[in-house]
A and B are shown apart, each in its own frame.
Chain A
Amino acid sequence: MFDLDLWREIFQSINKNRTRSLLSGFTVAFAILLFAILFGIANGLKNTFKEAFGDDATNVIFINSGTTTRANKGLQAGRKIQFKNEDFDFIKDEFGEKVEFITGRIYRNVNASYRSEKNSYSVRAVHPDHQFLEKTKIKEGRYINQNDLNNLTKVVIIGRLVEEDLFSKTTAMGKYINLSGIPYKVVGVFTDDGGDNEERLIYMPISTAQQVYGNNDYIDQINLSYNPELNYDQALAFGNDLTRELKKRFSVATSDQRAIRIFNLAESSKRVDMMTFSLTVIILVIGFGTLVAGVVGISNIMIFIVKERTKEIGIRKALGASPRSIVSIILIESILITAIAGYVGLLVGIGVLELAGPSLEAYFIKDPGVSNSLVFGATITLIIAGGIAGYVPAKKASQIKPIVALRND
């Protein structure tokens, strides 16, 4: 295998018969190029799906309240349901081990100012767990903590774009910003992959907001993520249990769809997962298909090459070439051509994806790329494929009878 002379023989044969080598390489390169592009596109589709849900945790349940549409247990229709701290605690106590993170939310719109800069923003008053549910990334400082909740501290964590808007000349950390007349200390700046809107938010401790905006213990919405170890069916069951318990707690009719609304992401993420799964299967089928086509292609060409080289092989045998050395020559040549051509195809494919990538976003194809591990895997596969492709031709070559090869016609 590491016989330098053998490699020299093979390189000479490839090099001196360039057209032949190029032609046989072309099929493989083309097959792999096609595969890389198809793979990239499928990957891009996958990314689009992922992105639609990927910003936030996928195991999330949102609980909203509204007004009742049916009379129940002597209570009239049209009653407004309002969550309070005790309901939040109830869920925590009742479903503790099934809950991963849980937070309440209060929404407010505020006019914010720092010195002469003013703008209006949405405020979300939340529990510390909110950071993990929203996948908020802390750029500087910290997020809301339990201490804030206990002491009703007047602190805020502002989005990157809020800082940009209001603190164009300086940094926000440690400064006080004025939210509708009340000063709050900026203790953190965050970023979020969810887009500009998500970075134009202000977070504050939920207890602070309850005191400032009404001196009550109301909660607008409760978000929670369920234990990731739950499977889909368990997650769906958990959502149903939650709905039933809350309806009982607020004396809401089981058939009332408006009073308490629970949105369980498990339902839609199951669909997304199905989709990604079928895409993966399609990719694998396409990949396998192209690979088989490539192997068959190069195998045919190698058989043709062996035919064309019959005379040469006959001469070599007459001069004392062992069958083994003939097999090595053909096999290694096949592997080299397959691997090199396949690699070139792969690189070109990646290049095409890189170039075309941005313009494909309109077709729901985001970041159509090919990963490093795939490139590595593909290289190994190509070498094996080259070996398989070269085996039959090499065997054929070694069985050539010199007498037949050397006949004059």
Chain B
Amino acid sequence: MLQIHELHKSYPIGDSSLHVLKGIDLSVEEGEMVAIMGSSGSGKSTLLNIIGMLDEADSGDYILDGLTIKDLTEKKAAVYRNKFLGFIFQSFNLINYKTALENVALPLYYQGMKRKERLELALFHLEKVGLAEWSHHLPKELSGGQKQRVAIARALAANPKLLLADEPTGALDTKTSHEIMAFIQQLNDEGKTILMVTHEEDIANMCKRIIRLRDGVIMEDTKVNQVRAEQYV
């Protein structure tokens, strides 16, 4: 699915620069569900953003689904993001003046799908996350868990190969977190590859593999026995 080799990234801070990723080697197979852990500031989000083509590495190789990702134009990056990737964020990042349905349909709009079709498809995905009745509500009328479910539906709408989630449960209480994790596990069961940044051990243990970052390198990379989230719901 993806191969990363000797990936480096630093951020300029004033005159000096902060070396955040110091040679990451990582490869993820199709159907995996990987948790990325590490202390705050260890570069988890940076790594995920580079994988998501929201940011660019300074050096190193990154191959996604057989495609070398390097020096992309904005236009190309837009197409790849739209085709390959689905994003789930800690703060949901829904567009506040669009209804749940319109939010879910947005990636389909950027795929050039016709309005009627994309609204139908968007509704199908909302149904999947159990929010069909809420399709015409604005984000501000939804709870945190509901918002994250809309965001998941949106990430799924374009049928991406890889789902990237940056602390998807970070803004939710334990119970809701487990509900969301149950969803994500279900998606993984259906075959989606998932990369997720998290701080919480119990959430990480609901994945199948845990990567720990420290000082800009992968310090530990272990397979785990997946804890199913359904049992807590």
Contacts and interface: CB of A to CB of B under 8 A. Distances in A.
B87 interface: yes
A317 B93 contact: no
Given A12-B98, A318-B52, A318-B54, A323 B75 contact: yes
A322 B74 contact: yes
A225 B91 CA distance: 83
A354 interface: no
B228 to A, nearest CB: 29
19 contacts: A4-B115, A12-B97, A312-B96, A315-B95, A318-B52, A318-B81, A318-B93, A319-B87, A319-B154, A319-B158, A320-B79, A320-B81, A320-B82, A320-B158, A322-B75, A322-B79, A323-B78, A324-B75, A401-B54
A316 interface: yes
A284 interface: no
B90 A408 contact: yes
Given A403-B54, A408-B90, A317 B98 contact: no
Contacts of B115: 4-5, 8
Interface of B: 49, 52, 54-55, 74-75, 78-79, 81-83, 87, 89-91, 93-98, 106-107, 109-111, 115, 154, 158
B111 A320 contact: yes
A408 B98 CA distance: 20
Interface string A188-200: 0000000000000
A398 to B, nearest CB: 8
B54 A406 contact: yes
A180 interface: no
A320 B77 CA distance: 8
Contacts of A398: 74
Contacts of B81: 317-320
Interface in A1-40: 4-5, 8-9, 12-13, 16-17
Contact of A406 (B89, B97, B110, B154): B89
Contacts of A319: 81-82, 87, 106-107, 110, 154, 158
B78 A321 contact: yes
Given A320-B81, A403-B55, A315 B93 contact: yes
Contacts of B98: 12, 16
A325 interface: yes
A40 B205 CA distance: 76
A130 interface: no
Nearest to A4: B115
Nearest to B95: A312
A5 B54 contact: no
Nearest to B114: A5
A323 B77 CA distance: 10
A5 B112 CA distance: 9
A349 to B, nearest CB: 32
A402 interface: yes
Nearest to A407: B45
A320 B93 contact: no
A402 B45 CA distance: 13
Interface string A375-409: 00000000000000000000000100111001010
A211 B216 CA distance: 120
Given A320-B83, A408-B90, A408-B91, 20 more contacts: A4-B115, A8-B115, A12-B97, A315-B93, A315-B95, A316-B95, A316-B110, A318-B52, A318-B81, A319-B81, A319-B110, A320-B107, A320-B111, A321-B78, A322-B75, A322-B79, A323-B75, A325-B110, A403-B54, A403-B55
A305 B98 CA distance: 17
Contact of B97 (A5, A16, A320, A403): A16
Interface-central residue, A9, A321, A401, by most chain B CB under 10 Å? A321
A398 B97 CA distance: 20
B188 to A, nearest CB: 21
Contacts, number: 69
A332 B203 CA distance: 45
B116 to A, nearest CB: 11
A127 interface: no
Contacts of B154: 319
A263 to B, nearest CB: 72
A314 to B, nearest CB: 8
A311 interface: yes
A321 B55 CA distance: 15
B7 to A, nearest CB: 16
A13 B106 CA distance: 14
B135 to A, nearest CB: 16
B49 A403 contact: yes
A5 B118 CA distance: 12
Contacts of A325: 110
A318 B87 contact: yes
Nearest to A9: B109
A316 to B, nearest CB: 7
Interface in A321-376: 321-325
Given A319-B107, A320-B81, A323-B75, A406 B93 contact: yes
A324 B91 CA distance: 27
B95 A320 contact: no
A402 B54 contact: yes
A9 B97 CA distance: 11
B113 to A, nearest CB: 10
Interface string A279-314: 000000000000000000000000000000001101
B163 to A, nearest CB: 13
Contacts of A9: 109
A316 B106 contact: yes
